[in-house]
Amino acid sequence: MKIFDHSDREWHTTDHQLYSRNEDGQAPGHYMWVNGRSVLSNAVSENQKTHFKIHTVVELDENKKSHQVVILEHKGGSVVAINQEDDTVIAKELPKPLSQSNSLDEVKKDNPEVLFYKVAREEDSELFYFKSYLKDKQRVLGFDQKGNPMNTSQVQPDQLESWFSSLATAKLKLQFTVEQIHARLFNHSDREWCTANHQLLNCNDTGLIRGHYMWVNGRSVLSNATKENQESHFKTHTLLELYEDKRRPRQVVMLEHKSGYVLAINQDDDTVIAKEPPKPPSEYKILDEVKEDSPEILFYKTARVPGSELYYFTSFLKDKQRIIGFDPEGKQINTTEVQPDKRESWFSIKKNVKVIDHSDREWSTADHQLYSRNEEGEAPGHYMWVNGKSVLSNAISENNKTYFKIHTVVELDENNKPHQVVILEHKSGSVVAINQDDDNVIAKELPKPPSQSDTLKEVKRDSPEVLFYKVAKEPGSELYYFKSYLKDKQRILGFDQEGNPMNTSQVQPKQQESLFSVV
């Protein structure tokens, strides 16, 4: 996704289905679709007419606050638009395909009625509404319970009629977190959970123990482990459930230890135990199934305050309030005595990327493609790939040689500021490196695979030329450049418009030649 401040840059496009949350009616489904010039939301997910391309830019307002602006293009080629004569929503044919509109200014000038702000219902919510870009009055896209379109001037953004969740129907062309890509809104429906690997750090950390990571020892649950303790690893299974009033989503989780046990409430004494579930959490497809089999293994994950990175876990059981908590020594507190506004109940959730402060810890590895944004030339594509010892960026996405493993750590500098450090390993086994003789980029064979290097310190010592800082173009941007870790001079990975590598000492950061999206 690109940051657009009224400048001539490309839109980011992804395939989606849009699901209306005003779902209490008798309609067979609540997916938005197009029928001729009509826009409705009463289709089932299998209906091929529910597929849209969402074209997105992020516009900065006068206060430099970012806003997502979208165009909703139906698979038939028409786009969702406001009929300014009566404020109804229609499907409209445009004079030229959206793929030929390269800038927000261009669409604003020609067809502002097809532009919408995509607005999250509240911070971090997976529900959002679409507000027309037209400035003369407020118009919000909305549908009644039967899936019929409502007059956009009468729809309120804080009501269920205007809320949507979005399901990606193809691989996103940018790097998002697992939660952002796969999290789904669930209201007792048959959809998958989102699963991610985590460690849980308790914030009641004034005791004299070495660590405060939660772990499992047999059937006991404690929070006195160090980060390096392998028993502190959990799989967090998450979905979002709407409150009974259907106005606010809340996260429901299962906390599965690496042993296969799950955290559960012992209803005899209100303690937290590690329990073997009736079947692995990965085999549960819907919330109702877990509620029926083992409600004691379900917890609400609640932010301490809106937007906080600290959370507490309240039992899903409804007979009394039970919250997971630990004392400063890492010993469990009875769940009925834990308060949600106290440090004893707060946890910081650590994801897969490890913080490395020149110490011996593991890298995080993920599979990606790298797309050069210097894309005005005649090359068939602009995906980076390796051909022998050469590194180029003129391949199409379907080329199997465009796949890389990105190994990542986060290094803290002397001011404790974090920086992502990466190794770009091609699928062939070679890695992207700087040739220090001439500052060119090459593909290099290492004495051992990056997967066998466990620490940043080790790679710095043996092969610093394969290390790069991965730097966002600006805070919040999904565009990145890669700056060599070598300290003697600035070297930045870059390609010309034809996909040929540029000398790294001549590439400037934040210019098109150096910018990539990570797919």
Same domain, 198 and 141: no
Same domain, 62 and 147: yes
The answer to whether 324 and 340 are in contact (CB under 8 A) is no
Q: What is the pLDDT averaged over residues 449-460?
A: 85
Same domain, 341 and 370: no
Specify if 173 maps to a domain. no
Same domain, 200 and 128: no
Model pTM? Answer: 0.40
Same domain, 226 and 273: yes
Residue 189, pLDDT above cutoff 80: no
Same domain, 402 and 423: yes
Which domain-ending residue is among 317, 349, 381?
Answer: 349
Residue 181, pLDDT above cutoff 60: no
Same domain, 184 and 158: no
Residue 359, pLDDT above cutoff 90: no
Distance of alpha carbon 249 from the chain centroid? 18
Residue 102, pLDDT above cutoff 80: no
Specify if 90 maps to a domain. yes
Residue 214, pLDDT above cutoff 90: yes
Same domain, 490 and 435: yes
Angle, CA 66 vertex, CA 248 and CA 517 arms, to 5°: 100
Q: Return the pLDDT at 185.
A: 32
Residue 147: CB atoms within 10 Å? 22
The residue type at 513: E
- Number of residues assigned to the chain: 519
The residue type at 211: G
**Half-sphere exposure for 472 (CA within 13 Å, toward CB):** 12
Could you report the per-residue pLDDT of 59-72, keeping only the tens digit for each?
A: 877 776 778 899 99
The answer to whether 480 and 419 are in contact (CB under 8 A) is no
Domain that holds residue 115: 12-168
Same domain, 215 and 340: yes
The answer to whether 492 and 507 are in contact (CB under 8 A) is yes
Could you report the per-residue pLDDT of 107-128, keeping only the tens digit for each?
A: 999 999 999 999 987 765 678 8
Q: How many domains does the chain have?
A: 3
Which domain-ending residue is among 349, 381, 403?
Answer: 349
Q: What is the CATH number of the domain that holds 452?
A: 2.80.10.50
pLDDT tier at 188 (50, 70, 90 boundaries)?
A: very low
pLDDT tier at 170 (50, 70, 90 boundaries)?
A: very low
Q: Please, where are the H alpha helices in 270-399?
A: 287-293
Same domain, 296 and 425: no
Computed over every residue of the chain, the mean pLDDT equals 83
Same domain, 182 and 105: no
